[in-house]
Amino acid sequence: MNIKQIAKAAGVSVATVSRVMNHPENVAPKTRDKILKIMEEEEYKPNWFAQGLNFNKTKTIGLVIPHMLNSMYMEIAKGVEDVAQQKGYITFMCNVEKDTEIEKNYIEQLLTRRVDGIILMFSSLDEKFIKSVEEQDVPVVLIGEDRCAKGFNTVKVNCRIGAENMVYQLIENGHDSIGILYGNDPQQETQDMLEGYKNVLKENDMDISDEYIKLVENTIEGGYLGAKKMMASGAPRAIFTTSDEIAYGAMDAIKDSGLKVPEDIAVAGFGNARMSNLVEPKLTTVELPFHKMGVYGARLLFDLIESEDKEDNTENQAKEEPRQIILQTKLRIRKSCGHKERIGEMF
């Protein structure tokens, strides 16, 4: 049964049936109940795409993800999904494998499907391309730092402060030489963490040695190889890493070298991935609010979508300045950093 047949059975116009599906508050209760009863009896399912063409809303959003297999990105996606479900929206998830051309292609497909908004997670796209999406009246929100994030609605974490707090913690634990293994993804956040690491060493009159600063792949294998190279030059007393995956590899390399964590070399990570509390010794790390990033990103997107519905379509309507939501990190102090009391440990 289609919408015309529903209207005929209820003795009303097609427009009245459409209002029941999209703005039921504008239909008289008696008429509304009659139409809903017929739809329920006939198990009527509206064509969401046709509905979107008629009312300029498809009740869908796009979520562009760098790597589906990365637990960090999946926790963020869960936050987005939680909000989208509450709003009655469907989320199209696009896995781009950190490939700019794949990312562009997916966004073009999302636009073809007339999504109501798009969330870009740690995007590698340039400002010009993202602006071109917004010019098609599709709201865009960035989750994670980006080179052009200042010009767009963004949710991000202050990674520099998080790194500084962790390096301060290692110094307070008595570690007088601290190395860093930093990854290349996400690019901007990683650079912020490296800057935070150097800032703290300078403030404490500690040497910043090239031998203790290693760029590695953001993987367990990258952490393993980076730690091996660092120890070959003379091991530092502690190693700070820009991801928990790098930290897991570093811990394995230290153990394979006949040394102990934290007795010989302390280790601290970044992220607080689920495995961090399961490895031995338990990993000291900087906790990122992944789920909250997704929640705030989705809320910001729906604010933009809903504000568009309320706007007068006048040429002189002034656009609001892009919003920047900055979330903070927490330290999770566990056994791997050598802190005896581990007052920040979470089981």
Q: What is residue 165's predicted lDDT score, i.e. its pLDDT?
A: 97
Range of the domain at 12: 3-46
Domain-located, residue 149? yes
271 shares a domain with 170: yes
The answer to whether residue 264 is domain-embedded is: yes
Does residue 148 sit in the same domain as residue 165?
no
What per-residue confidence (pLDDT) applies to 14? 83
Cβ(178)–Cβ(235) below 8 Å? no
163 and 151 together in one domain: no
The pLDDT of residue 316? 41
- Judge whether 346 lies within some domain: no
Q: pLDDT at position 47, please?
A: 62
Q: Indicate the angle between helix axes 100-112 and 127-134, nearest 10 degrees.
A: 0
* 167 and 211, same domain (yes or no): yes
Give me the pLDDT at residue 39, please: 84
How far are the Cα atoms of 58, 90, 178 from residue 47, in angstroms, in the given order? 10, 14, 60
Buried b / exposed e over 1-32, threshold 16 CB at 10 Å, is eebeebbebbebeeebbbbbbeeeeebeeebb
The total of other beta-carbon atoms located within 10 Å of residue 121's CB is 26
Residue 205 is predicted with a pLDDT of 95
The CATH code of the domain that includes 70 is 3.40.50.2300
In this predicted structure, what is the pLDDT of residue 50? 56
Q: What is the DSSP letter of 72?
A: H
> What's the number of domains the chain is made of?
3
Q: Are 284 and 269 in contact (CB under 8 A)?
A: yes
- Listing from the earlier edge strand, what are the strands of the sheet with 60-65? 90-95, 60-65, 118-121, 140-143, 153-157, 324-327
Cα gap 252→88, rounded to integer Å: 45
Residue 53, domain member (yes or no): no
Within-domain flag for 249: yes
Residues 103 and 206 in one domain: no
Which residues sit opposite 95 in a β-bridge? 65
In a domain, 131, yes or no: yes
Tens place of pLDDT per residue across the chain (347 aa):
677 888 889 999 988 887 887 667 788 999 989 988 888 888 776 665 555 555 567 899 999 999 888 888 999 999 999 999 999 899 999 999 889 999 999 999 999 988 999 999 998 888 899 999 999 999 999 998 755 556 899 999 999 999 999 999 999 999 999 999 999 877 788 999 999 999 999 999 998 999 999 999 989 999 999 999 999 988 999 999 999 999 999 999 999 999 999 999 999 999 998 888 889 999 999 999 999 999 999 999 999 998 865 554 444 445 678 899 999 999 999 999 987 665 444 43
- What is the spatial distance between Cα 242 and Cα 126, in angstroms, rounded to a whole number? 24
Strand pairing category for 60-65 and 324-327: unpaired
**Residues 24, 72 within the same domain:** no
**Residue 18 tokens, joined:** 């459409």
Residue 147: the pLDDT is 57
Is position 54 within any domain? no
In CATH, what number is assigned to the domain containing residue 32? 1.10.260.40
Q: What distance in Å separates the CA atoms of residue 78 and residue 84, rounded to the nearest whole number?
A: 10
Core vs surface per residue 137-159: b (16+ CB within 10 A) or e = ebbbbbbbbbebbeebbbbbbbb
pLDDT at 178: 97
Select from 229, 331, 230 the least CA-distant residue to 276.
331
Residues 186 and 254 in one domain: yes
Beta strands in 128-274 (DSSP E): 140-143, 153-157, 178-182, 213-215, 238-241, 266-271
Helix (H) or strand (E) holding 295, with range, is: helix 290-310
Q: Would you call 271 helix, strand, or coil by DSSP?
A: strand
Domain co-membership, 261 together with 304? no
Residues 214 and 253 in one domain: yes
DSSP 132-150: HHHTTT--EEEES--TTGG
Per-residue model confidence (pLDDT) at position 95: 96
Same domain membership, residue 90 and residue 28: no
Whether 101 and 190 share a structural domain: no
Whether residues 175 and 267 share a domain: the answer is yes
Sole residue written with tokens 């999946």: 74
Q: Is residue 52 part of a domain?
A: no
